[in-house]
Amino acid sequence: MTITLFLLVLFATMTVGVPIAFALMLTALALMVHLDFFDAQLLAQNVQAGFDSFPLLAVPFFILAGELMNAGGLSRRIIDLARSMVGHVPGGLGYVAIAASVLLASMSGSAIADTAALATLLLPMMRRQNYPDGSSAGLIAAGGIIAPIIPPSMPMVIYGVTTNTSISKLFLAGIVPGLMMAIALVMVWRWVARDKDLPVAEKTTWAQRRQVLAGSAWALMMPVIIIGGLRMGFFTPTEAAVVAAVYALLVATLIYRELSLQRLYRVLVDASRTTGIVMFLCGAATAASYMITLADLPSQLARTMGPLLANPMVFMAVVCLFLLAVGMVMDLTPTILILAPVLSPLAAKAGIDPVYFGFMFIFVGCLGLLTPPVGTVLNVVAGIGQLRMEPVIRGVMPFLLVYLAMLVLLILFPAIVLWPLKLMF
């Protein structure tokens, strides 16, 4: 009865257009009334507790770092570097998009920020060189979701805070799969571009490459500082986010000098708006999570899914299918905030490593960013490129299929995800 009430209130409110944060608060309120435990002060305290988290401070600073990178010229220089290295091969701008997506992913951790940067800079170039709009947009969207996988990752921070899982270990777990995603995109793009008569850009000289490399050196230092500092223990993930934002600000204003005071004000406003949305979601989810725990929903689900818990691989496969379905109608952050507190205790009962489960949860959630009808990343690319959604969906399908094949591989061989952890710890 409690599970039914939880799902009914949550999805009914979302269906009629209630914002997800308010839907979560209404769900918590419904559970309170159902348990005869109504206390408005307790509800408000839990919402406030969702904001009051030191690890969660990483989110606004990574959001700010991403905005500063795009406005201050760091993202553009990364793309210029990739273009100078591989832009001359057949279909070269596609490989530029893949290389740039990996480099940008190691800086911002935001799929939307990275996708926006790639689409803004590369889609016009690809269009001028007669690249198919659908395939170009699909590749950029598929590359954009590498950002939440390779550290630093905002969704991993949110998941770690929500489920009390080590954020540093989640970061490490994403390195190998993130690189695998890039290799998979290279293979699929080569297959997609094989029969297309795509123009070949003039090969840059080594002198020109050195010049571009020197110009992008300050941007390239950012992931070195963040990941190196985390690995050496110089700072926590939250402190890494602050370092990233401050570094991006200094480089954009003092070295590249592309960020005026007027533009900086706009960046701060945009970052504040995004932060407000995310933090309110976290506060509302904390209130809902408190009532989920009080109603003992994980134990009720464990009894329902008892046979699956005996086989961790089958349980993982079923959870991934469920998350794929949810990802078609819900964005990644609310998926984490709503479902992670419910599913992570079940994974623990099934004997699944919490870091592996957390990574798989985020990986499958990222695939949801590429699936209609919501498909947040698809909407970003289509909006920036002024494209209809149909060609973008067709263009992303080959890349989504190879990601699904990779999902099966990661379910069958969890060691791929856990290997860096065993090496480091």
The answer to whether 62 and 104 have CB atoms below 8 angstroms apart is: no
In the numeric block, which tokens belong to residue 127?
A: 């269009």
Give CA–CA dist 239/84, Å, rounded.
33
The answer to whether 185 and 400 have CB atoms below 8 angstroms apart is: no
Give CA–CA dist 227/172, Å, rounded.
10
In angstroms, the Cα distances linking 14 to 2, 21, 334, 368 are 18, 10, 12, 17
**Secondary structure of the chain in HEC code, one letter for each residue:** CHHHHHHHHHHHHHHCCCCHHHHHHHHHHHHHHHCCCCCHHHHHHHHHHHHCCCHHHHHHHHHHHHHHHHHHCHHHHHHHHHHHHHCCCCCHHHHHHHHHHHHHHCCCCCHHHHHHHHHHHHHHHHHHCCCCHHHHHHHHHHHHCCCCCCCCCHHHHHHHHHHCCCHHHHHHHCHHHHHHHHHHHHHHHHHHHCCCCCCCCCCCCHHHHHHHHHHHHHHHHHHHHHHHHHHHCCCCHHHHHHHHHHHHHHHHHHHCCCCCHHHHHHHHHHHHHHHHHHHHHHHHHHHHHHHHHHCCHHHHHHHHCHHHHCCHHHHHHHHHHHHHHHHCCCCHHHHHHHHHHHHHHHHHHCCCCHHHHHHHHHHHHHHHCCCCCCCHHHHHHHHHHCCCHHHHHHHHHHHHHHHHHHHHHHHHCCHHHHHHHHHHC
Domain spans, the chain? 50-424
pLDDT in the model for residue 130: 84
The answer to whether 173 and 424 have CB atoms below 8 angstroms apart is: no
Give CA–CA dist 97/198, Å, rounded.
15
Give CA–CA dist 323/288, Å, rounded.
19
Give CA–CA dist 387/162, Å, rounded.
36
Q: Which pLDDT tens digits describe the chain residue by residue (425 residues)?
A: 666 777 788 778 877 878 878 888 888 888 888 877 777 777 788 788 777 777 778 888 888 888 888 888 888 888 888 878 877 777 888 888 898 899 888 877 788 888 888 888 888 888 888 888 889 999 999 999 999 999 888 899 999 988 989 988 999 899 999 999 999 999 999 898 877 777 666 777 888 888 888 888 888 888 888 878 877 778 888 888 888 889 999 999 999 888 888 889 999 998 888 888 888 888 887 787 777 777 776 667 667 777 778 889 999 999 999 899 888 877 888 888 888 888 898 898 889 999 999 999 999 999 988 987 778 888 888 888 888 888 999 999 999 999 999 999 999 999 999 988 777 76
The answer to whether 187 and 202 have CB atoms below 8 angstroms apart is: no
- Identify the burial level of 277 via C-beta atoms within 10 angstroms of its C-beta, where 0-12 means exposed, 13-18 middle and 19 or more buried: middle
In the numeric block, which tokens belong to residue 12?
A: 């009914």
pLDDT in the model for residue 290: 77
Give CA–CA dist 404/146, Å, rounded.
14
Give CA–CA dist 327/366, Å, rounded.
8
**What is this structure's pTM?**
0.85
Give CA–CA dist 218/215, Å, rounded.
7
The answer to whether 275 and 314 have CB atoms below 8 angstroms apart is: no
Residue 178 neighbours by CB distance under 10 Å: 21
